Amino acid sequence: MSLEVSILIPFLNESENISDLVSSLNDFCSRQEESYEVIFIDDGSTDDSCEKLKNAPIHGFSCSLIQLSQNYGSHAALRAGITKAKGKYISFAYADLQDPLTLQKKMYDKAKSSSSNIIWATRKDSKSGALEKLFSQFYASMMKKHVKSTFPKKGFDIVMFDAKIQQQLNTNIEANSSIFLQILTLGFKQDSIEYDKYERQKGKSKWTLQAKIKLFIDSFVAFSYFPIRLVTVLGILFSSLGFLWTIYIISRKLLLNDLEPGWPAIISILMIGFGVTNIGLGIIAEYLWRTLDASRKRPVFVIDELIKIK
């Protein structure tokens, strides 16, 4: 039987979830007609997640473990898994089981029936906290407006794609980027399904504020000209305001001669001017750093070991 679906599961210190995850995979894959392989990608775990995984009772699917040399982030881990996946279709899943495994079957059926190269699983609802929901909504709205108009309003964490997309991703392994936006902007035929995201039951989320900010910056710098255009617009705006203010000061001096020199006004103008300048330099520096990073051609990830579990 040919291998139909490769499920990639990146994880970082998920010892509490490994048993439930393997049990859920056993139950799900054993009930499917299609053949599945699961590739776990250890993104630099320091707990006993890998040992638990190696000793877990696995049935109903073939299983491999990729151990990266250090923590590179979930997107880099997924890219490492894509290079080793052998299924006709490739999909993502996560160790916290917030995204039901039944999505894999639904996306596979949708891909077969619609002959689409990419199937997105878009969130109908999320049991996440208020701040996380707010960030997700803000991120999605900005991506939809400034990167890709087809970006789902409530975002996505799961996608399934075929060998054409795999080839493109393996040919263009991008650093400091979003793998989801890269897939979204490739084109090809796309479709979607909706689902409800569950609450995390065990362990602590690795989706930290720092990780969110990095994704936000990477998404804009890698896929949009908006930050650079923002600098230009701000420069034009403040130059225009400065020009109008200069005309006003000169006219007031010549006509009324009632203005006293004021250090507070000068200081505020200087602070605003230097603030805008520094913001502009920071945005330009982000682009320059990523250009330098790409020119070095350093690996986005390093695979320390590939272990065949079953």
CA dihedral 27, 31, 34, 39 (to 10 degrees): 0
Residues 38, 25: contact at Cβ < 8 Å?
A: yes
pLDDT value for 149: 76
Residues 6+ apart with CB under 8 A from 54: 65, 307, 309
Q: What is the DSSP string of 158-175?
A: EEEEEHHHHHHHHHS--S
Mean pLDDT across the chain, nearest whole number? 81
Give the pLDDT mean for 165-190: 88
* Integer Cα distance of 25 and 106 in angstroms: 15
What the block records as the tokens of 85 is: 């996946």
pLDDT at 112 over 80: yes
- DSSP state, 46? -
Evaluate whether 114 touches 191 at the Cβ level (below 8 Å): yes
Mean pLDDT of 260-265: 60
Q: Give me the pLDDT at residue 170, please.
A: 92
pLDDT category at 85 given cuts 50, 70, 90 is very high
* DSSP 8-class letter at 71: -
Helix, strand, coil % in the chain, rounded to nearest 5:
50, 20, 30
Which residues contact residue 163 at a Cβ distance below 8 angstroms, ignoring those fewer than 6 apart?
88
pTM of the model: 0.76
Residue 197 has a pLDDT of 80
* Segment holding 67, helix H or strand E: strand 62-68
> pLDDT category, 91, cuts 50, 70, 90?
very high
Among 78-82, 247-251, 258-262, 270-274, the least confident range: 258-262
Amino acid letter at 246?
A: T
Helix (H) or strand (E) holding 122: strand 118-126
Distance CA 101, CA 99 (A): 7
- pLDDT, residue 83, reads 93
What SS3 class is residue 11?
A: strand
207: pLDDT strictly greater than 70 = no
Task: Report phi then psi at 9, rounded to 5.
Answer: -125, 100
Tell me the pLDDT band of 142, cut-offs 50, 70 and 90.
confident
Provide the pLDDT confidence category of residue 134 given band limits of 50, 70 and 90.
confident
Residue 13 Ramachandran class (φ > 0 left, ψ -120 to 50 alpha, else beta): left
**Which amino acid is present at 229?**
R
Q: What are phi and psi of 125, to 5 degrees?
A: -150, 155
